[in-house]
Structure 1
Amino acid sequence: MSNHPPITDLADRLARAQRATAAQEVDALLVSPGPDLRYLTGYDAIPLERLTCLVLRAEGDPTIVVPFLEKPAALASPIGDLGIDILTWQETDDPFMLVGSLLPERGRAALDNHMWAEKVLRLRAAMPGVDQMLAGTVLRELRMRKTPDEVEALRRAGAAIDRVHAQVPQWLRAGRTEREVGKDIADAILAEGHVSVDFVIVGSGPNGASPHHELSDRVIQAGEPVVVDIGGTMPDGYCSDETRTYSVGEPPAEFASYYEVLLEAQIAACEHVRPGVTCESVDAAARSVIEAAGYGEYFVHRTGHGIGLETHEEPYIVTGNTELLEPGMAFSIEPGIYLPGQHGARIEDIVVCGESAGERVNHSPRELVVV
C-alpha cells in the first residue's frame, strides 16, 4: 500500500489550493515541511534549520525550494511525479531571497500555520513589500473536508487503535505502574500498524481527573478507574485517537453512576452528527446531558477536535463555533467528567460526518470495562 495519495489526487489538491489562493487575492502560498506540505504534495519532508519551501503561486506552475542535499529525497517523493519544479540552494546561498525572487515585489503571501518563527521573520526581511498572512485561511476549507480516500485512511487508523484497546485489559492490574502499562500500550501501537506513537495517557485514580495526564510511576490500586487515551500516526500520515475508561476491579459507586451519564452524553453527541448542524450543537448535545445530571462544572474541555494528518485540526467541536457540518468532516467526540483528587472518565470516538448521519470509525465497546 502506498504511503501517499495517488498522484491524480495530489494534483487535484494542488489545483484546488491554487484556485483558493487566487480567490482570496493572495499571490502565493509558502509551505514548509509539515502537514500542509504532505497534504499538498505527499512529501513528508524532515523539518530542518535549512529552508524547504513550496511556492504555490496563484498563477503559474508550483516550485519547491530545497537544500541541494535534500533534492534526492524530494525527487523520491511524489514531488518528482507531480512535475513540480525543484530549485536547489547551496550552503552559502540565501534561500529566503530565492523564495522572494519567485514573488512580486509587492503583494500578499500566505505562510503555512506551522512555519517556524525564524523562517517567517527571514522571509519577511527578504520580501519587505509582501504582506504575510496565514495559509490556514486558504487551506482549511480543503483539509477540513475529507475525500473518500481520506475517510478510508481514518477507518484504517481507527481499526488499528481499536486493536490496541482490545489488548489493554491484559496489561491493567493492581500493582503495576502507569508507566509500565504505557510501555506495553506504546509497543502495541507500533505493532498494530502505526509508524509513530503520538501520545499515551494512562490516568489511574486521581490522575484520571487530569485530562492530559502524563505517564507516571504511580502504582495502580484495586478498585480504581483508569483513563486510557492513546493515538499514533499511520504510514499514510493519518492519525488515530481513542479514549476508553477501565476499572481495575469494581469502581466506587459515584464513579459508576456518573460513568453512565457520560456514556449517555457521548452517544447523544455521536447521534446528533449530520450535515447542516453546527459544531457547537454537537458540543451542546453532550454537555446538556452532563449538566442536567449535575456534573457540568466537571466537564472542563471542548467536546472534540478535527483529525486527519494532524491529531488536532479543524473543525473544533466547541461552544461558539457556528460552522455547519458537511460530509467529509472528521472529528473526535470525547466528553469527560473529572472529579479533582478522586477520579475521572472520558469516552472518545472519531466520527465522520456522512451524507445523512455520523459514522464512528472506532468500534471498541464504550461501556465501562472492569478488569
Structure 2
Amino acid sequence: MTGTPAPPAPGGPAPFTADDYTARMRRAAEAADAAGLAGLLIAPGPDLVWLTGYRPVETERLTLLVLRAGQDPVLVVPALEAPDAAGAAGAPALTLRDWTDGQDPYGAAAALLRPAGRYGISDNAWALHLLALRERLPDTGHLALTRALPMLRAVKDSAELDRLAAAGAAADTAYEEIRKVRFEGRREREVAADLDGLLRRFGHSQVDFTIVASGPNGANPHHEAGERAIGRGDMVVLDFGGLKHGYGSDTSRTVHVGEPTDEERTVHELVRAAQEEGFRAVRPGAACQDVDRAARAVIAEAGYGEYFIHRTGHGIGVTTHEPPYMIEGEEQPLVPGMCFSVEPGVYLPGRFGVRIEDIVTVTEDGGRRLNNTSRELAVVG
C-alpha cells in the first residue's frame, strides 16, 4: 500500500536522483524563508512526491515533512512505513523521525517547530492532522501552500518538460486513435473506456479523467460520461488526461457525429480562434490574466461571452491541475518553464458545447504547444 513510484518503463526518462530532490527541498525551504515563513509542512500528496519521490498512502497516521531554511529536512513517519520512506529516491537528504502506534506523533512534529512561527502547509493536509498540531502549538500560524508559495512547482526544468512533452504526445496519439472508433449508437461511458485504454496503451500509468460529453451534455464542462447513447448529429466534447512518467497530460478536442450544421461549425471555429489567440498571448513577462483576456475577448466580441463559463487555463505538472491559473485577476508574470492549459469553450445549455485545449509551455520568446493534433472540427462515425 505504500512506497515509491514504480520505476520508469524501459526506454523512459532517467529517474530523478537524490541530488534532484535535495535541490528541490533546499529551494523550497529558501523560498519559504524569503516569504517570511518559518518553514513548510508537507503532507502526503503531490508536494511530497515532487520534493522527495516518496508516495505514501494518505491515512490517519501522521506523515509530515518539515522543511526549514538552513536545517536538514525531517520526515516524521509511522514506524511501519519507515522502510518505504527510507527507500525513496530523496531519502539520503532526509532525517527520518519514526513513531510507533501509541506514541504522540504530533508532539514529535511540534518539537521541530517554532511555537509562534507561521508555516506553509500542503493544501491537501488532513484537517485531523492540522488541528492536532494546532492543539500542541496554538500560537502557530498556517497558510495554504498554494497561497504561501503558489509558484513553487510552476517552473519546470528540462527533465520535467521532457516528461510533460511525452505525456502530451501520448494523449495526442490516443486522440488520433479514438477518432477511428465508432461513436454513433454507443454510450458515452463506452467511448470513455476506449479512451482510458488508449491512454494506458500509450504509456499512462494513471488516467485521471475521460470526459465524453455528447449533444446537450457538452454544455456541462465537467460532465461525467454516462449512459446517454451518442447519436448522429451530436457534437461530442472529449477531454482526457492522466500521468505518464509521473507528469500530466490534459487535452480537449470536439468532434461531430456526421456532418455538422453551419451554426455548429461557426461556434467551433470561434473557439478555435479564441484558443489560438490565447496561445499567441503566451510570452515571458505577460501576466497570466493576459492569456485569459486574449481568448475571452474573441468569444465575447462574437456575442457568446456569457457562454464561456470557466477560466482559460490551469497549471500542470505532477498533478493535472495546479498553479498558475489563467484567469482574470491573476497578475503573476509568465516565465520560461511554466506549463499550463489554454482551453476556452462555449457551452450552449440544452444544445451542445465546444472546447479545445492544449498544454503550453512558456519559452524564451513565446510559447510552445505540447499538444499538436488538429484543432479543426473532426467528423466521426
TM-score (norm 1): 0.96
8 Å contact 1:172–1:248 — kept in the other structure? no
Q: AA paired with 1:233?
A: L
Partner of 2:194: 184
Partner of 2:154 in structure 1?
Answer: 144
1:57 equivalent in alignment to 2:68: yes
- Selected match of 2:233 from 198, 223, 227: 223
Q: 1:327 aligns with which of 330, 333, 336?
A: 336
CA contact (8 A) 2:340 2:359 kept: yes
Cα shift readout 1:273-305 (whole Å, capped 9, x = no counterpart): 111111111111111111121111111111111
Q: Does 1:308 align with 2:317?
A: yes
Identity percentage of aligned residues: 45
Cα distance, 1:103–1:330 mapped onto 2, change above 3 Å: same
Given that residues 110 and 134 in structure 1 are in contact (C-alpha distance below 8 angstroms), is that contact kept between their aligned partners in structure 2?
Answer: yes
What is the CA–CA distance in structure 1 between the aligned matches of 2:124 and 2:163, rounded to whole Å?
23
1:250 corresponds to: 259
Counterpart residue number, 1:20: 31
Distance in 2 of aligned mates of 1:139 and 1:299: 29
Distance in 1 between residues matched to 2:334 and 2:87, nearest whole Å = 37
1:213 CA displacement: 0.4
Contact 2:272 2:375 in 1 (8 A): yes
Q: Which amino acid aligns with 1:28?
A: G
Equivalent-residue separation in structure 2 for 1:11 and 1:169 (angstroms): 44
Q: Tell me the equivalent position of 1:368.
A: 377
Change (3 A) 1:342 1:3: farther
1:125-204 equivalence runs, <5 A = 125-204=135-214
2:281 maps to amino acid: H
* Alignment partner, residue 287 of structure 1: 296
**Structure 1, gaps ≥5 residues long:** none
Please give the alpha-carbon distance, in whole angstroms, between the structure 2 residues aligned to 1:351 and 1:272.
11
- Please say if 1:33 is aligned against 2:44: yes
3-state SS of paired residue (2:143):
strand
Gaps of 5+ in 2: 1-11
Task: Give, in whole Å, the separation in 1 of the partners of 2:221 and 2:63.
Answer: 36
- Asked whether the 8 Å contact 1:266–1:334 carries over to 2, the reply is yes
Q: Secondary structure at the match of 1:180?
A: helix
Distance 1:42 1:101, change over 3 A: same
How far is 1:83 from its partner? Answer: 3.0
Aligned length: 369
Specify the code of the residue in structure 2 equivalent to 1:37: L
The aligned residue for residue 59 of structure 2 is 48
Aligned to 1:88, the other structure's residue is in SS state strand
**Residue number in structure 1 paired with 2:85:** 74
**Structure 1's 4 and 33: CA in aligned 2 closer, same or farther, altered over 3 A?**
farther
Matched letter for residue 368 of structure 2:
E
Q: Distance in 1 between matches of 2:169 and 2:248?
A: 11
Contact 2:200–2:206 (8 Å) recurs in 1: yes
State the Cα distance separating 1:3 from its structure 2 match.
Answer: 7.4
Q: Which amino acid aligns with 1:217?
A: E
Q: Distance in 2 between matches of 1:72 and 1:40?
A: 18
1:304-332 deviation digits (Å, cap 9, x = unpaired)? 11111121111111111122111111110
Counterparts of 1:284 and 1:131 in 2: how far apart (Å)?
Answer: 36
